[in-house]
Amino acid sequence: MEVKLKEKSKSKSYNFIVTHSDAGKRLDTVVAKHFSSISRSMAKKLIKTGNIVVNNQIKSAHYQVKEEDIINIEIPEIQRSEIIPIEMKLDVIYEDDYILVINKPPDIPVHPSAGHRNDTLVNALLGYLGKTENLSSIGGIERPGIVHRLDKDTSGVLLIAKNDHSHLKLSEQFQYRKIQKNYEAILKGILEKDRGKIESSIARHPTNRKKFTTAEHGKDSITFFEVIDRKNETTWVRFMPKTGRTHQLRVHSVSIGHPIVGDPIYSRGYTKYKYLALVAKSLKIVHPKTGLIYTFIASYPNHFIEIAKYFGYRIDIKENKNRWMIEKK
C-alpha cells in the first residue's frame, strides 16, 4: 500500500489504491486496517460525513471495495479547544523532532472517551508539547499523535508521532507486524512450558461489555511467550504478541488458565493489588526519518516491583531505568 499525503487548506488528505488482498472487504474495515489510529467507528463517521470517498464518490461504510479503487481520506483540522491541555509529568524515554516515546503509568487512559475527557495522556501531551501542531493529525481530534494504544491498566512503552509523515511510516510498521513488542507479566499459577504460542480468536464478551473473550467469530490473535522465572505458585513471563487486539494478553493468559496477577477484570482472587502486573517492556522500530533501528526499554513501575518482591522475585533497582539504543548496521 502506498499512501500519499496532501495538504488541503487546514485539513490533511490521504489516498491509497486498493490491492488484491483487500478486494471484497468493507470500506470501513479497510480504512481501519491501513490506519491503525483510525478505529472502525471513526472510519464510519468519516464516511458518513463525506470525509472518506471512493473514486471521488460517496459510498456507505459496508461498500465492498474493489481492486484498484482509489480511497481518499480527509482528516479535518484538529481543534485545540476540544481537548483541554493538562499538566502531568511525563516519563520520557526518548524524544526528537519526529517521535516521542514515554513510559506510560498505570490507570491512565491513552485518549479521551466516555468518562475520561480531561485526564488522559492526550491531554498531558498537549500540555507537554504546547499545541496540537506538534502532534500528527491522522488520529483525529481525540487521538492526535497516537499511533498505537495500551490498555488503561497497562504501563510501559508508548510511541507518539509528532507529524503525519512519522505517523504513516510507523502505522505501516504496525500493520505489517514489523515492530517488535515485548511485554512482561506475573501470572497466577505455575506455567509448565518454558515457551509456547497462544493462538485464538478474540471478541467482546456477550454480556460484560468491559471484557473480551475467546470466540469463534472474533479477530485472530497470536501471542508467543517464554518463562523468565517461577516462584511461589506464580510465573514471570515475557510475551511477544504478533497481533494487537484489545486485552489480548489478558484474555490469552486466562485462556491458558493463568490470569495476570492484579487484573481487576479477569483475575478472581488476585485483585488485592492496586494495579495489573503487566508492563509493555520494550518496543523495537525503524525510525520514520533516519531508517535506523531503535529499541526503547521502559523501567519497571513501582507496583510491578512490589508484586514481584512479594512473590520472591528480585529486580535490581539500580538497573531499573528507562533506556534506548540504536542498532548498528
As a whole number of Å, the CA-based R_g of the chain is 20
Q: Does 151 qualify as catalytic in the annotation?
A: yes
Is-contact 298 280, C-beta < 8 A? yes
Q: Which strands form 11-17's sheet, in the order they lie side by side? A: 4-8, 11-17, 70-75, 52-54
Q: Which of 151, 153, 164, 263 is catalytic?
A: 151
Active-site residue list: 151
